[in-house]
Homo-oligomer: A and B are copies of this chain.
Amino acid sequence: MVRCEMVKKAREIRADKRRRQVLDAASACFREEGFHGASMSRIAARAEMSVGHIYRYFDSKETIIIALVQRDCAKFDRWLRRMISSAATIETVIANLRRGMPWLLNRDRAAIFLEMHAEAGRNSKIAAVLTEMDHNLRCLLKELIGRVRRTSQSGPEEVTDVTIEVVLLQLQGVAARVTLNPNLDRSVFLEGFERVALAVLAPEASAQCVLKEAGKAG
């Protein structure tokens, strides 16, 4: 029966919508109260469905947390890809960074990021999800830095672990910094990032830049 298939599909769509509803509500609750502080009943209330019904879509609270971590990781992955996918020159990377900065500096994002990583320290399933994302990030960055260096004929061909680690430290430190210093001017972060990007992507230009700054006051 054709009709049967259509109904099945419609059901799946609705189920997906329901799942998303739960995840959105959970995300808001977790942001306000943390993974363990938030309760299923409050999540249910926010998702506008009954407690028991959530268990049709998720086996447990932990399953919700993991699904949410995966979704957020995917978002971060997409963000980084947008930042670098079509970038071949340093200027493009910095311009992209300028546009993408608000998302990275978002306080809610930072809060859940910290929660995720804190939980990863004690839940190996969550750690596994994050570790996989970390691997993807490293690959993406390696590819980008190599590409930009090649096209701009600047810096060594081989991108070392140290270089990538420095960039990642910078990216992931943001969450803690934003939480600690929420009223710090965004342009400070942006300039810091530009400086690091320059140092990594175009060592010569960066060298001249710091030298100039040094000469200015020394």
* Minimum CB distance partner of A138 in chain B: B181
**A interface residue count range (under 10 / 10 to 19 / 20 to 34 / 35 or more):** 35 or more
**Which residues of the partner chain B approach A134 to less than 8 Å between Cβ atoms?**
180-181
Asked if residues B118 and A34 are in contact (CB atoms below 8 Å), the reply is: yes
A173 contacts across to B, CB distance below 8 A:
168-174, 176
* Residues of A14-38 whose CB lies within 8 A of B: 31-37
Task: Tell me how far the C-beta of A215 lies from the nearest C-beta in chain B, rounded to whole angstroms.
Answer: 9
Tell me whether A5 is interfacial, beta carbon within 8 Å.
Answer: no
Q: How far is the CB of A154 from chain B (nearest CB, A)?
A: 7
Q: Could you write out 28 A-B pairs with CB less than 8 Å apart?
A: A31-B121, A34-B36, A113-B176, A114-B114, A115-B121, A117-B176, A117-B180, A118-B118, A131-B181, A153-B218, A155-B213, A158-B217, A161-B184, A166-B170, A166-B192, A168-B173, A169-B169, A169-B170, A169-B173, A172-B173, A172-B176, A176-B176, A203-B211, A204-B210, A204-B211, A204-B214, A206-B207, A206-B210
